[in-house]
Amino acid sequence: MTSAMEQLAAQGQSVWLDYIRRDMLQNGDMAAMVADGLRGMTSNPSIFEKSIAGSDQYDEAIASFVAGNVSATPIEIFEHLAIEDIKSAADILAPVYERTDGADGFVSLEVSPHLADDTEGTINEARRLWAAVGRPNLMIKVPATVAGIPAIETLIGENINVNVTLMFSMGDYEAVSHAYLRGIENASDPSRVASVASFFVSRVDTAVDNQLVELGEAGAALLGQVAIANAKVTYQRYLELFGDDFTAEWGKGAFPQRLLWASTGTKNAAYSDVMYVEGLIGDNTVNTLPPATLDAFADHGSAADVALVADIDEAYAVLDKLAAVGVDLDAVTNKLQRDGVQAFIDAFEALLGAIEEKRAALV
């Protein structure tokens, strides 16, 4: 029987898992998912905070590391744990990377969220993490902030794979895609560098819906429609940048920078729990799914339609209507990016605090 992930692959979409925890790397669960069609994995400070602080799976590793590094700081302990997990995940995904000639099979590790407004700090930390992990199928996650854009260009130019995160708008995408294009112009081997542009979805509906509800009847018709319309319009721009002209220019050289749909777990219980999977199926894209959403899609999702190229005129109309009722989407998405950076900072600080408590208790 064809798995849900294989059904999406048949439509040109790769499924990545938006989750990482040590037990799944060690007990064969992730290897089984790869055999079932999983093609990648993403992590972020919030995911590591839940995995490390929310379980005792890492306690022995923390105690062992601290025993040999008594003056280790919480951030050094975290990096030790995270790099071990990322290496393991990269090795499990290595057959996918090899089978696809470097087009897929990646695992992502994020630079510190405290560096979101620091270009040189981001570049230096990305270089250090890239060297520390030492796997060709690693992607370094860099936010699409004003400071992040030149860092992305530099890192791509140095043949370092980049997962650009915290994109919410067409403006974000324009800046990110052109940073990638400038980067591959400088790369010594464009055929061995890859990038994805992570476009966040459900958070857009949550934020916009809050404003639409306040508008009453005038906003009701647009509830739950804006995020997917925003993604569809952005995908049209992707097709313009990385379609036939790009392929003709680069041939078998550089890869297109794929759009990756992030924040695809449904946050409103009134909506379908697979709406951000079924509505975002498109060729040469990635959807990174939290475990619950992946399970839901496997249970009752449908991969019958290439939804991203359907009803495009309607998607543009939704965004026009949104502006007409007085909702400023750019203002919403700019705030979402700032809030996203802060949420990762908060999770990162909570994680470091939990590691410090664990270290004190274990020692």
Mention every residue, 6+ apart, whose C-beta is less than 8 A from residue 142. Answer: 111, 122, 126, 148, 151, 152, 155, 162, 163, 164, 165
Quote the Cα angle for 7-101-308, to 5°.
35
Distances, alpha carbon 135 to alpha carbons 35, 84, 139, in Å: 20, 12, 9
CA-to-CA separations, 251 to 39, 185, 255, 259, 283, in angstroms, rounded: 23, 14, 9, 20, 18
Indicate which residues carry an active-site annotation. Answer: 141
Residues 196, 177: Cα–Cα separation, whole Å: 9
One-letter amino acid identity for 243?
G
Euclidean distance between CA atoms 144 and 169, whole angstroms: 10
What is the amino acid identity at position 186? N
- Strand 13-18 with 40-42, pairing: parallel
